Chain A
Protein backbone atom coordinates (compact mmCIF):
# COMPACT_ATOMS: atom_id res chain seq x y z
CA UNK A 1 0.00 0.00 0.00
CA UNK A 2 1.28 3.41 -0.84
CA UNK A 3 2.02 6.10 1.65
CA UNK A 4 -1.09 7.58 3.26
CA UNK A 5 -1.98 10.82 1.63
CA UNK A 6 -4.24 13.42 3.12
CA UNK A 7 -6.01 15.62 0.66
CA UNK A 8 -8.09 18.62 1.52
CA UNK A 9 -9.76 18.36 -1.85
CA UNK A 10 -10.01 15.29 -3.95
CA UNK A 11 -8.19 15.36 -7.23
CA UNK A 12 -11.34 14.07 -8.87
CA UNK A 13 -12.79 17.47 -8.52
CA UNK A 14 -13.17 18.75 -11.99
CA UNK A 15 -10.85 21.39 -13.24
CA UNK A 16 -12.51 24.71 -13.48
CA UNK A 17 -12.15 27.42 -16.02
CA UNK A 18 -13.58 29.82 -13.46
CA UNK A 19 -12.14 31.01 -10.18
CA UNK A 20 -13.34 28.81 -7.39
CA UNK A 21 -15.62 29.88 -4.66
CA UNK A 22 -13.80 31.60 -1.86
CA UNK A 23 -14.16 29.59 1.27
CA UNK A 24 -16.72 30.88 3.73
CA UNK A 25 -15.43 32.69 6.75
CA UNK A 26 -14.49 30.54 9.67
CA UNK A 27 -16.58 32.38 12.18
CA UNK A 28 -18.47 30.39 14.72
CA UNK A 29 -20.46 33.23 16.14
CA UNK A 30 -21.36 36.38 14.43
CA UNK A 31 -22.99 39.07 16.41
CA UNK A 32 -24.92 41.70 14.67
CA UNK A 33 -23.70 44.27 17.14
CA UNK A 34 -20.09 43.63 16.28
CA UNK A 35 -20.01 43.21 12.58
CA UNK A 36 -17.15 45.47 11.67
CA UNK A 37 -14.38 43.68 13.45
CA UNK A 38 -15.50 40.26 12.48
CA UNK A 39 -16.39 41.16 8.97
CA UNK A 40 -13.00 42.61 8.40
CA UNK A 41 -11.87 39.00 8.37
CA UNK A 42 -13.97 38.24 5.38
CA UNK A 43 -12.34 38.08 2.00
CA UNK A 44 -13.20 40.97 -0.26
CA UNK A 45 -12.40 38.99 -3.34
CA UNK A 46 -14.45 38.28 -6.40
CA UNK A 47 -16.47 35.13 -6.10
CA UNK A 48 -17.73 32.66 -8.62
CA UNK A 49 -20.30 30.27 -7.27
CA UNK A 50 -20.36 26.84 -8.80
CA UNK A 51 -23.57 24.94 -8.63
CA UNK A 52 -23.45 22.62 -5.68
CA UNK A 53 -20.02 23.78 -4.55
CA UNK A 54 -18.40 25.85 -1.87
CA UNK A 55 -20.05 24.85 1.37
CA UNK A 56 -18.63 23.28 4.49
CA UNK A 57 -19.99 21.59 7.61
CA UNK A 58 -19.40 24.77 9.60
CA UNK A 59 -21.20 26.89 7.04
CA UNK A 60 -24.16 24.54 7.11
CA UNK A 61 -24.36 24.68 10.87
CA UNK A 62 -24.11 28.46 10.79
CA UNK A 63 -26.86 28.79 8.21
CA UNK A 64 -29.16 26.51 10.17
CA UNK A 65 -28.51 28.37 13.38
CA UNK A 66 -29.27 31.69 11.68
CA UNK A 67 -32.83 30.58 11.09
CA UNK A 68 -32.72 32.33 7.73
CA UNK A 69 -34.61 30.36 5.11
CA UNK A 70 -32.52 32.02 2.41
CA UNK A 71 -29.28 31.13 4.13
CA UNK A 72 -30.32 27.53 4.66
CA UNK A 73 -31.40 27.14 1.05
CA UNK A 74 -28.25 28.77 -0.24
CA UNK A 75 -25.93 26.72 1.90
CA UNK A 76 -27.58 23.38 1.23
CA UNK A 77 -27.57 24.05 -2.50
CA UNK A 78 -23.87 24.76 -2.28
CA UNK A 79 -23.41 21.56 -0.29
CA UNK A 80 -24.89 19.37 -2.99
CA UNK A 81 -21.58 17.60 -3.59
CA UNK A 82 -20.11 18.02 -0.15
CA UNK A 83 -18.88 14.85 1.46
CA UNK A 84 -20.11 15.15 5.00
CA UNK A 85 -21.68 12.27 6.78
CA UNK A 86 -22.02 14.27 9.95
CA UNK A 87 -24.03 16.91 8.09
CA UNK A 88 -26.83 14.39 7.77
CA UNK A 89 -27.37 14.71 11.50
CA UNK A 90 -27.73 18.47 11.13
CA UNK A 91 -29.92 18.43 8.06
CA UNK A 92 -32.16 15.50 8.71
CA UNK A 93 -34.12 17.29 11.47
CA UNK A 94 -34.94 20.04 9.00
CA UNK A 95 -37.42 17.79 7.26
CA UNK A 96 -39.67 18.53 10.21
CA UNK A 97 -39.03 22.25 10.15
CA UNK A 98 -42.09 24.45 10.32
CA UNK A 99 -41.13 26.19 7.11
CA UNK A 100 -42.06 24.31 3.97
CA UNK A 101 -39.15 25.71 1.98
CA UNK A 102 -36.71 24.49 4.61
CA UNK A 103 -38.30 21.06 4.65
CA UNK A 104 -38.05 20.82 0.92
CA UNK A 105 -34.47 21.94 0.53
CA UNK A 106 -33.46 19.54 3.29
CA UNK A 107 -35.22 16.73 1.48
CA UNK A 108 -33.58 17.77 -1.78
CA UNK A 109 -30.15 17.54 -0.14
CA UNK A 110 -30.91 14.22 1.51
CA UNK A 111 -32.17 12.83 -1.80
CA UNK A 112 -28.57 12.95 -2.97
CA UNK A 113 -27.24 10.87 -0.08
CA UNK A 114 -27.01 7.22 0.67
CA UNK A 115 -29.40 7.76 3.53
CA UNK A 116 -32.17 8.47 1.05
CA UNK A 117 -33.51 4.96 0.97
CA UNK A 118 -33.82 4.75 4.73
CA UNK A 119 -35.53 8.11 4.88
CA UNK A 120 -37.93 7.18 2.10
CA UNK A 121 -38.89 4.08 4.02
CA UNK A 122 -39.40 6.10 7.18
CA UNK A 123 -41.49 8.67 5.36
CA UNK A 124 -43.74 6.04 3.87
CA UNK A 125 -44.20 4.59 7.32
CA UNK A 126 -45.17 8.01 8.58
CA UNK A 127 -47.83 8.28 5.91
CA UNK A 128 -49.44 5.21 7.38
CA UNK A 129 -49.63 6.75 10.81
CA UNK A 130 -52.11 9.10 12.35
CA UNK A 131 -49.95 12.14 13.01
CA UNK A 132 -50.97 14.69 10.40
CA UNK A 133 -47.94 16.92 10.84
CA UNK A 134 -45.55 14.03 10.37
CA UNK A 135 -47.54 12.87 7.37
CA UNK A 136 -47.47 16.35 5.86
CA UNK A 137 -43.74 16.54 6.25
CA UNK A 138 -43.30 13.04 4.91
CA UNK A 139 -45.26 13.99 1.81
CA UNK A 140 -43.02 16.98 1.25
CA UNK A 141 -39.93 14.81 1.51
CA UNK A 142 -41.24 12.14 -0.84
CA UNK A 143 -42.23 14.80 -3.33
CA UNK A 144 -38.69 16.10 -3.36
CA UNK A 145 -37.32 12.58 -3.70
CA UNK A 146 -39.45 12.19 -6.84
CA UNK A 147 -39.49 8.42 -6.69
CA UNK A 148 -42.38 6.85 -8.56
CA UNK A 149 -42.43 4.09 -5.99
CA UNK A 150 -43.77 6.53 -3.41
CA UNK A 151 -46.99 7.21 -5.33
CA UNK A 152 -48.73 4.22 -3.80
CA UNK A 153 -48.21 5.23 -0.19
CA UNK A 154 -48.98 8.85 -0.98
CA UNK A 155 -52.22 7.77 -2.60
CA UNK A 156 -53.20 5.75 0.43
CA UNK A 157 -52.52 8.69 2.71
CA UNK A 158 -54.38 11.02 0.38
CA UNK A 159 -57.47 8.91 0.93
CA UNK A 160 -57.01 8.63 4.67
CA UNK A 161 -59.73 10.73 6.24
CA UNK A 162 -57.99 10.43 9.56
CA UNK A 163 -55.29 12.78 8.38
CA UNK A 164 -55.80 16.50 8.25
CA UNK A 165 -56.80 18.17 5.03
CA UNK A 166 -53.46 19.93 5.02
CA UNK A 167 -51.56 16.64 5.18
CA UNK A 168 -53.64 15.13 2.41
CA UNK A 169 -53.19 18.22 0.31
CA UNK A 170 -49.43 17.85 0.68
CA UNK A 171 -49.75 14.24 -0.44
CA UNK A 172 -51.50 15.43 -3.59
CA UNK A 173 -48.84 18.04 -4.13
CA UNK A 174 -46.13 15.42 -3.73
CA UNK A 175 -47.74 13.19 -6.33
CA UNK A 176 -47.81 16.16 -8.64
CA UNK A 177 -44.18 16.87 -7.91
CA UNK A 178 -43.22 13.32 -8.82
CA UNK A 179 -45.04 14.04 -12.03
CA UNK A 180 -45.62 10.48 -13.17
CA UNK A 181 -48.92 9.55 -14.78
CA UNK A 182 -49.26 6.72 -12.27
CA UNK A 183 -50.56 9.41 -9.95
CA UNK A 184 -53.31 10.55 -12.27
CA UNK A 185 -56.16 8.48 -10.82
CA UNK A 186 -55.38 9.52 -7.27
CA UNK A 187 -55.28 13.17 -8.19
CA UNK A 188 -58.50 13.03 -10.18
CA UNK A 189 -60.13 11.45 -7.15
CA UNK A 190 -58.66 14.13 -4.92
CA UNK A 191 -60.05 16.80 -7.23
CA UNK A 192 -63.49 15.62 -6.28
CA UNK A 193 -62.81 15.58 -2.56
CA UNK A 194 -65.31 17.34 -0.37
CA UNK A 195 -62.57 19.25 1.35
CA UNK A 196 -61.62 22.28 -0.71
CA UNK A 197 -57.98 22.19 0.36
CA UNK A 198 -57.56 18.61 -0.82
CA UNK A 199 -59.53 19.20 -4.00
CA UNK A 200 -57.49 22.26 -4.90
CA UNK A 201 -54.24 20.41 -4.29
CA UNK A 202 -55.41 17.55 -6.45
CA UNK A 203 -56.20 19.90 -9.30
CA UNK A 204 -52.90 21.68 -8.92
CA UNK A 205 -51.06 18.37 -8.91
CA UNK A 206 -52.76 17.22 -12.10
CA UNK A 207 -51.23 20.13 -13.96
CA UNK A 208 -47.77 18.87 -13.05
CA UNK A 209 -48.21 15.37 -14.44
CA UNK A 210 -46.20 14.75 -17.54
CA UNK A 211 -48.64 13.88 -20.29
CA UNK A 212 -51.89 14.56 -18.42
CA UNK A 213 -54.64 14.75 -21.03
CA UNK A 214 -57.95 13.91 -19.40
CA UNK A 215 -59.40 17.27 -18.43
CA UNK A 216 -62.95 15.99 -18.81
CA UNK A 217 -62.40 14.00 -15.64
CA UNK A 218 -62.40 17.11 -13.51
CA UNK A 219 -65.34 19.01 -14.97
CA UNK A 220 -67.43 18.42 -11.88
CA UNK A 221 -64.99 20.52 -9.90
CA UNK A 222 -66.15 23.53 -11.91
CA UNK A 223 -69.37 23.46 -9.93
CA UNK A 224 -67.71 23.25 -6.53
CA UNK A 225 -69.09 25.58 -3.93
CA UNK A 226 -65.54 26.71 -3.23
CA UNK A 227 -64.22 29.45 -5.50
CA UNK A 228 -60.65 28.29 -5.13
CA UNK A 229 -61.54 24.80 -6.31
CA UNK A 230 -63.38 26.24 -9.28
CA UNK A 231 -60.36 28.39 -10.09
CA UNK A 232 -57.99 25.46 -9.92
CA UNK A 233 -60.25 23.40 -12.14
CA UNK A 234 -60.39 26.25 -14.63
CA UNK A 235 -56.60 26.34 -14.62
CA UNK A 236 -56.49 22.63 -15.47
CA UNK A 237 -58.66 23.22 -18.54
CA UNK A 238 -56.63 26.21 -19.65
CA UNK A 239 -53.41 24.33 -19.03
CA UNK A 240 -54.37 21.40 -21.25
CA UNK A 241 -55.71 23.77 -23.96
CA UNK A 242 -58.16 21.18 -25.27
CA UNK A 243 -61.65 22.35 -26.11
CA UNK A 244 -63.16 20.60 -23.12
CA UNK A 245 -65.69 22.19 -20.79
CA UNK A 246 -66.34 25.16 -23.03
CA UNK A 247 -69.98 25.42 -22.04
CA UNK A 248 -69.16 25.16 -18.37
CA UNK A 249 -66.49 27.82 -18.67
CA UNK A 250 -68.85 30.11 -20.51
CA UNK A 251 -71.30 29.75 -17.65
CA UNK A 252 -68.60 30.64 -15.18
CA UNK A 253 -67.59 33.71 -17.15
CA UNK A 254 -71.17 34.89 -17.25
CA UNK A 255 -72.42 34.02 -13.81
CA UNK A 256 -69.78 33.09 -11.28
CA UNK A 257 -69.95 35.33 -8.23
CA UNK A 258 -66.16 35.35 -7.92
CA UNK A 259 -64.37 37.82 -10.16
CA UNK A 260 -61.27 35.63 -9.93
CA UNK A 261 -63.16 32.65 -11.27
CA UNK A 262 -64.78 34.69 -14.06
CA UNK A 263 -61.40 36.10 -15.00
CA UNK A 264 -59.68 32.74 -15.07
CA UNK A 265 -62.52 31.09 -16.95
CA UNK A 266 -62.22 33.78 -19.60
CA UNK A 267 -58.49 33.13 -19.78
CA UNK A 268 -59.00 29.36 -20.12
CA UNK A 269 -61.37 29.87 -23.04
CA UNK A 270 -58.75 32.01 -24.72
CA UNK A 271 -56.16 29.29 -24.25
CA UNK A 272 -58.38 26.92 -26.21
CA UNK A 273 -58.23 29.22 -29.21
CA UNK A 274 -60.54 28.42 -32.07
CA UNK A 275 -61.80 25.37 -30.21
CA UNK A 276 -63.69 27.72 -27.94
CA UNK A 277 -65.09 29.88 -30.73
CA UNK A 278 -68.55 29.34 -29.31
CA UNK A 279 -67.54 31.50 -26.38
CA UNK A 280 -67.07 34.57 -28.51
CA UNK A 281 -70.28 36.31 -27.48
CA UNK A 282 -69.83 35.44 -23.83
CA UNK A 283 -66.33 36.83 -23.81
CA UNK A 284 -67.40 39.88 -25.74
CA UNK A 285 -70.05 40.62 -23.18
CA UNK A 286 -67.62 40.10 -20.32
CA UNK A 287 -65.06 42.30 -22.03
CA UNK A 288 -67.44 45.21 -22.06
CA UNK A 289 -69.85 44.68 -19.23
CA UNK A 290 -68.29 42.73 -16.39
CA UNK A 291 -68.17 44.66 -13.14
CA UNK A 292 -64.49 43.89 -12.63
CA UNK A 293 -61.95 45.75 -14.76
CA UNK A 294 -59.64 42.77 -14.48
CA UNK A 295 -62.26 40.41 -15.87
CA UNK A 296 -62.93 42.87 -18.66
CA UNK A 297 -59.28 43.14 -19.62
CA UNK A 298 -58.61 39.39 -19.52
CA UNK A 299 -61.80 38.72 -21.49
CA UNK A 300 -60.54 41.11 -24.16
CA UNK A 301 -57.26 39.23 -24.35
CA UNK A 302 -59.09 35.90 -24.53
CA UNK A 303 -61.39 37.16 -27.23
CA UNK A 304 -58.42 37.99 -29.41
CA UNK A 305 -57.05 34.49 -28.93
CA UNK A 306 -60.19 32.74 -30.11
CA UNK A 307 -59.31 33.41 -33.70
CA UNK A 308 -55.97 31.59 -33.34
Chain B
Protein backbone atom coordinates (compact mmCIF):
# COMPACT_ATOMS: atom_id res chain seq x y z
CA UNK B 1 0.00 0.00 0.00
CA UNK B 2 1.41 3.37 -0.98
CA UNK B 3 -0.84 6.03 0.54
CA UNK B 4 0.53 9.23 2.05
CA UNK B 5 -2.44 9.77 4.36
CA UNK B 6 -2.34 6.24 5.78
CA UNK B 7 1.42 6.38 6.28
CA UNK B 8 1.35 9.79 7.98
CA UNK B 9 -1.53 8.91 10.27
CA UNK B 10 0.14 5.61 11.16
CA UNK B 11 3.37 7.40 11.98
CA UNK B 12 1.53 9.84 14.26
CA UNK B 13 -0.76 7.32 15.94
CA UNK B 14 1.73 4.47 16.49
CA UNK B 15 3.47 5.84 19.63
CA UNK B 16 0.15 6.58 21.30
CA UNK B 17 -1.17 3.08 20.63
CA UNK B 18 2.01 1.53 21.97
CA UNK B 19 2.01 3.79 25.01
CA UNK B 20 -1.58 2.78 25.72
CA UNK B 21 -0.69 -0.88 25.29
CA UNK B 22 2.18 -0.55 27.76
CA UNK B 23 -0.14 1.27 30.16
CA UNK B 24 -2.76 -1.48 29.98
CA UNK B 25 -0.11 -4.15 30.57
CA UNK B 26 1.68 -2.39 33.42
CA UNK B 27 -1.56 -1.40 35.19
CA UNK B 28 -3.10 -4.83 34.62
CA UNK B 29 -3.39 -5.48 38.35
CA UNK B 30 -4.82 -2.03 39.18
CA UNK B 31 -7.28 -1.14 36.43
CA UNK B 32 -9.36 -3.05 33.90
CA UNK B 33 -7.10 -4.70 31.37
CA UNK B 34 -4.18 -7.01 31.81
CA UNK B 35 -1.76 -9.04 29.81
CA UNK B 36 -4.03 -10.29 27.06
CA UNK B 37 -5.74 -7.02 26.02
CA UNK B 38 -2.56 -5.00 26.45
CA UNK B 39 -0.59 -7.44 24.34
CA UNK B 40 -3.34 -7.38 21.73
CA UNK B 41 -3.08 -3.57 21.56
CA UNK B 42 0.71 -3.72 21.19
CA UNK B 43 0.46 -6.39 18.53
CA UNK B 44 -2.24 -4.43 16.70
CA UNK B 45 0.03 -1.39 16.52
CA UNK B 46 2.74 -3.48 14.86
CA UNK B 47 0.18 -5.03 12.51
CA UNK B 48 -0.95 -1.51 11.57
CA UNK B 49 2.66 -0.57 10.83
CA UNK B 50 3.12 -3.65 8.68
CA UNK B 51 -0.10 -2.92 6.78
CA UNK B 52 0.79 0.71 6.13
CA UNK B 53 4.49 0.40 5.30
CA UNK B 54 4.69 -3.07 3.80
CA UNK B 55 6.08 -6.38 4.95
CA UNK B 56 9.77 -5.55 4.53
CA UNK B 57 9.73 -2.51 6.80
CA UNK B 58 7.50 -4.35 9.25
CA UNK B 59 9.97 -7.22 9.43
CA UNK B 60 12.79 -4.74 9.96
CA UNK B 61 10.84 -3.17 12.83
CA UNK B 62 10.01 -6.52 14.43
CA UNK B 63 12.30 -9.22 13.05
CA UNK B 64 11.03 -12.75 13.06
CA UNK B 65 13.94 -14.09 15.09
CA UNK B 66 13.19 -11.51 17.76
CA UNK B 67 9.46 -12.23 17.99
CA UNK B 68 10.19 -15.96 18.13
CA UNK B 69 12.54 -15.44 21.08
CA UNK B 70 10.06 -13.22 22.94
CA UNK B 71 7.33 -15.71 22.21
CA UNK B 72 9.18 -18.65 23.73
CA UNK B 73 10.98 -16.64 26.40
CA UNK B 74 7.85 -15.17 27.96
CA UNK B 75 6.33 -18.58 28.63
CA UNK B 76 9.64 -19.70 30.15
CA UNK B 77 9.57 -16.66 32.44
CA UNK B 78 6.04 -17.63 33.46
CA UNK B 79 7.06 -21.20 34.25
CA UNK B 80 10.21 -20.02 36.05
CA UNK B 81 8.12 -17.76 38.28
CA UNK B 82 5.87 -20.73 38.99
CA UNK B 83 8.77 -23.03 39.78
CA UNK B 84 10.28 -20.45 42.14
CA UNK B 85 7.31 -21.23 44.40
CA UNK B 86 8.28 -24.91 44.36
CA UNK B 87 11.91 -24.03 45.09
CA UNK B 88 10.91 -22.18 48.25
CA UNK B 89 8.86 -25.14 49.36
CA UNK B 90 5.32 -24.23 48.37
CA UNK B 91 3.10 -25.14 45.48
CA UNK B 92 3.52 -24.40 41.78
CA UNK B 93 2.64 -20.74 41.09
CA UNK B 94 2.33 -19.71 44.72
CA UNK B 95 2.29 -15.96 45.17
CA UNK B 96 2.36 -14.97 48.82
CA UNK B 97 3.61 -18.35 49.96
CA UNK B 98 6.75 -18.02 47.83
CA UNK B 99 7.69 -14.79 49.58
CA UNK B 100 7.01 -12.33 46.76
CA UNK B 101 6.73 -8.84 48.30
CA UNK B 102 3.13 -7.67 48.42
CA UNK B 103 3.98 -3.97 48.29
CA UNK B 104 1.81 -1.00 49.05
CA UNK B 105 -1.90 -1.35 48.25
CA UNK B 106 -2.66 0.22 44.87
CA UNK B 107 0.99 0.78 43.98
CA UNK B 108 2.47 -0.13 40.62
CA UNK B 109 4.71 -2.73 42.29
CA UNK B 110 2.22 -4.62 44.42
CA UNK B 111 0.53 -7.95 44.46
CA UNK B 112 3.63 -10.15 44.41
CA UNK B 113 4.38 -11.71 41.03
CA UNK B 114 1.16 -10.56 39.35
CA UNK B 115 2.77 -7.58 37.52
CA UNK B 116 5.58 -9.85 36.30
CA UNK B 117 3.14 -12.47 35.05
CA UNK B 118 1.05 -9.79 33.35
CA UNK B 119 4.17 -8.40 31.66
CA UNK B 120 5.19 -11.86 30.46
CA UNK B 121 1.72 -12.64 29.11
CA UNK B 122 1.46 -9.24 27.41
CA UNK B 123 4.80 -9.60 25.63
CA UNK B 124 3.85 -13.10 24.61
CA UNK B 125 0.51 -12.07 23.14
CA UNK B 126 2.07 -9.17 21.23
CA UNK B 127 4.82 -11.39 19.82
CA UNK B 128 2.28 -14.09 18.92
CA UNK B 129 0.04 -11.66 17.03
CA UNK B 130 2.82 -10.11 14.99
CA UNK B 131 4.49 -13.47 14.29
CA UNK B 132 1.25 -15.04 13.05
CA UNK B 133 0.39 -12.00 10.93
CA UNK B 134 3.80 -11.74 9.30
CA UNK B 135 3.98 -15.46 8.61
CA UNK B 136 0.57 -15.53 6.96
CA UNK B 137 1.06 -12.38 4.88
CA UNK B 138 4.45 -13.65 3.74
CA UNK B 139 2.95 -16.87 2.44
CA UNK B 140 0.23 -15.00 0.62
CA UNK B 141 2.80 -12.86 -1.15
CA UNK B 142 5.21 -15.62 -2.11
Partners in one complex: no
Residues on B lying within 8 angstroms of A by beta carbon are none
